Amino acid sequence: MDWETNRRTFLHGAAAVLASSVLPGHAATSITSKYDDMLIIDALCFGKEWSEDVFTALRAANYSGIIESLPRQNLQAAIDALLEWRGRIKDNEDKLMLALESQDFMRAKESNRTAVMMNFQNSTMLDGEVDNIDALYALGMRSFQLTYNFRNLVGDGCLERTNAGLSDFGVEVVARMNDIGVLIDLSHCGSQTTLDGIAFSKRPVGITHTMCDALRSHPRAKTDEQIRNCAEKGGVIGMVALGYFVGPDPGGDTSIEHYADHIEHAVNVAGKEHIGISTDFPPQGISPWATYDEWYLPRTGFFKPSYELRWPPWIPELDSTDRYRNLMVVLDRRGWSSSDIERLLGLNWLRLLGDSIG
């Protein structure tokens, strides 16, 4: 057995031990017994090569819906990715369906499938033409981020030195997204771009995967003002499940309790109707496939030091298909009702998608 196999065996064993400490006996069974009946939507989840392991993990995690991240280098790359996805769904109609409207997530739940909503984590694929939103919409795209980490023609990203907000072109893009029914995602946007995206949108917007700046000062975090403004517009903010995003400090160990802290802080700011969940990694987790050389080292080349990358990047209790069952137990212990947990795990996203994509 080689070193890598030993490492993964150890990690899964450690995760199991930690999960067992989170799920003590009958109380855990009682609250988690409701999980399979719930609508679960992970607001940023992407497959690792879409092997059978991914399909198995989707079902084990009870995912009725995911928002997928597609290549966005330019318009042609985006078109190719959308066509590839349409083919994948056609080839796996017993497991997947294309999410074109909010009720597709309910249809997926009823048919024991996973609805996949097409999303781009940038607007670079527009190639500077607002009409390309319509073209991508026709192929199945229903969401995209206005910016990624750096500046584009729409506005500034969260790692940009400046904080200029939306450009005139960006305001035009927001209006077109509103008009045809595309969810505006502000996750990687800069501070002023985030505020502008909320203010200029006529529809509720999403921040699909972020964390609370009040608990973890980081370029990707959102302030209480941004969280509150998003909620007041009717939007939903997703708490991301990456350890180095929600950990208390760069050198500390991160647990599921820290993740729950971000959820509860966001709820205290925005209300339970406006907070959701997201992972930002494949449904089976990160540790089953990621290595230091393949995951960590390449990212050091395109993220600034302020991103504070860490290895390993996962939270053990959230790095398996039981992640949200484990979270249910933590939130139940903190006094959450099962109806509020169900809202967090999927119904808030369903409502937002009804208000944004129709």
Q: Which helix (H) or strand (E) segment is 12 a member of?
A: helix 3-22
Q: Is the dihedral of CA 205, 164, 228, 307 positive or negative?
A: positive
Task: Please report, in tens digits, the pLDDT of each residue of the chain (358 residues total).
Answer: 343 434 443 344 444 444 444 444 445 668 899 999 999 999 999 988 899 999 999 999 999 999 999 999 999 999 999 999 999 999 999 999 999 999 999 999 999 999 999 999 999 999 999 999 999 999 999 999 999 999 999 999 999 999 999 999 999 999 999 999 999 999 999 999 999 999 999 999 999 999 999 999 999 999 999 999 999 999 999 999 999 999 986 656 899 999 999 999 999 999 999 999 999 999 999 999 999 999 999 999 889 999 999 999 999 999 999 999 999 999 999 999 999 999 999 999 999 999 999 9
Q: In the chain, where do the E strands start and end?
A: 40-42, 63-70, 96-98, 114-120, 141-145, 183-185, 206-210, 236-240, 275-278
Cβ proximity of 123 and 173 under 8 Å: yes
Residue 210 near residue 220 (C-beta atoms within 8 A): yes
What are the tens digits of pLDDT across the range 37-49? 999 999 999 988 8
pLDDT digits (tens, 9 = 90+) for 101-160: 999 999 999 999 999 999 999 999 999 999 999 999 999 999 999 999 999 999 999 999
pTM, whole model, 2 decimals? 0.91
Is residue 209 within 8 Å of residue 43, measured between CB atoms?
yes
CA distance 223 to 214: 7
Residue ranges making up the domain that contains 243: 3-356
3-state secondary structure of 184: strand
Whether the ω angle into residue 316 lies within 30 degrees of 0, i.e. cis, is no
233 by Cβ neighbours in 10 Å (0-12 / 13-18 / 19+) ranks as: middle
Q: Which residues contact 157 (CB under 8 A, 6 or more apart)?
A: 147, 148, 149, 150, 151, 188, 189, 190, 193
Please give the Cα distance from 89 to 78 (Å, whole number): 17
- The domain that holds 220 is classified in CATH as 3.20.20.140
- Residue 117 DSSP SS3: strand
Residue 118's DSSP bridge partners are: 68, 141
Task: Write the burial class of residue 319 (CB in 10 Å: 0-12 exposed, 13-18 middle, 19+ buried).
Answer: buried
* Whole-number Cα distances in Å, 338 to 65, 277, 355: 20, 15, 24
State the distance between the two ends of the chain, measured CA to CA, in whole angstroms.
52
Q: What is the CA radius of gyration of the chain?
A: 19
C-alpha–C-alpha distance, residues 240 and 45, integer Å: 10
The half-sphere exposure of 7 on its side-chain side, counting CA atoms within 13 A, is 10
Q: Would you call 33 helix, strand, or coil by DSSP?
A: coil
Residue type, 39: L
User: What CA–CA distance (Å, rounded) separates 358 from 355?
Assistant: 6
Q: How many domains does the chain have?
A: 1
Contacts of 235 (CB under 8 A, 6+ apart): 198, 204, 205, 206, 207, 274, 352
Cα–Cα nearest to 155, from 181, 119, 194, 127:
194
Residue 14 φ/ψ, nearest 5 degrees:
-65, -40
